[in-house]
Structure 1
Amino acid sequence: MLLYVTVGTNNLERAIEFYDPVLSTLGYVRVKTSEDEAGYAVNANSAAEFWVLYPYDKQEASAGNGSMIAFAAADRAAVSAFHAKAMLYGGHDEGAPGLRRYTPHFFAAYIRDPDGNKLSAVFDQPE
């Protein structure tokens, strides 16, 4: 359904230092880097599916109120690792790993990156 998603940053170097270890917990690798953007994919030979970049209009990046990107996790351990790495690398807690009310197996964690973008990792299957 989606080709790719982007989030803005005001400091690409800091964003890369955050996203490299955090997204690695979900199997993502950085596949592209330029002076303005970094792209991540699950397969190193694939096109980037997630981008962090300086806004093209050269204005300050800001987080959208009500916006969130949810990444699929391979298991509950990956959700927990995502949250732990995010806290270690400058993220902010928006909801510790745990079961949520959406389905009987919806295990998720919620964080904000250093620029305030809200992200989630979710595993929604029996463990």
Structure 2
Amino acid sequence: MFSHIVLGTNDLKAATVFYDQVMATLGYARHDTGDTYAGYGKATDIGSGQNCLWINMPLDGKPATIGNGTNIALLAEDRQAVDAFHAAAMDQGGQDEGAPGLRSEVHPHFYAAYCRDPDGHKLVIVCHKVFSDAGD
């Protein structure tokens, strides 16, 4: 359904420090950087523009803002990746919006954590997989 996601930033340097760390917990890296943007994803996807997260200074020159009621949900392969993302976000100055855990009101296997990035964008990291004692 989605090609890519773009989040605005007012401080590209601070944003890249944050996203370099949190995206690594999901197996993604920054593969493209310019004066006003940074692109995260798999090396094979970044050139296509698909399955990527872009952090950009707004093209119109106005300050970046956040959307009230907006969140970006990123998939994690397992619950440990959710935990690692949230921990990395807190280590990089992110704001806690909900510690890792099950949100059974969403569905029985919705394991997620919520945080805000340095610009205030709300991020959700989620694993939908069924948990077993043998692992995720």
1:81 and 2:84 matched = yes
In structure 2, what residue type is equivalent to 1:119? L
Residue aligning to 2:134 = none
* Structure 2 alignment gaps of length 5 or more: 132-136
Q: 1:107 aligns with which of 96, 107, 111?
A: 111
Q: CA deviation at 1:45?
A: 2.3
- Per the alignment, residue 67 of structure 1 pairs with 70
Q: 1:69-99, CA deviations, whole angstroms, 9 ceiling, x for partnerless residues?
A: 1000010000000000000001000110000
Match of 1:34 in 2: 34
Query: Unpaired runs of 5+ in structure 1?
Result: none
Query: Matched residues in 2 for 1:16 and 1:86: separation?
Result: 12
RMSD: 0.8
Question: Residue 78 of structure 1 aligns to which amino acid in structure 2?
Answer: A
Amino acid at match of 1:67: T
Among the aligned pairs, what percent are the same residue?
51
1:11 aligns with 2:14: no
| Secondary structure of 1:62 counterpart | coil
Count of residues paired in the alignment: 126
Structure showing greater Rg:
2
Q: Which residue number in structure 2 is paired with residue 2 of structure 1?
A: 2
TM-score after normalising by structure 2: 0.90
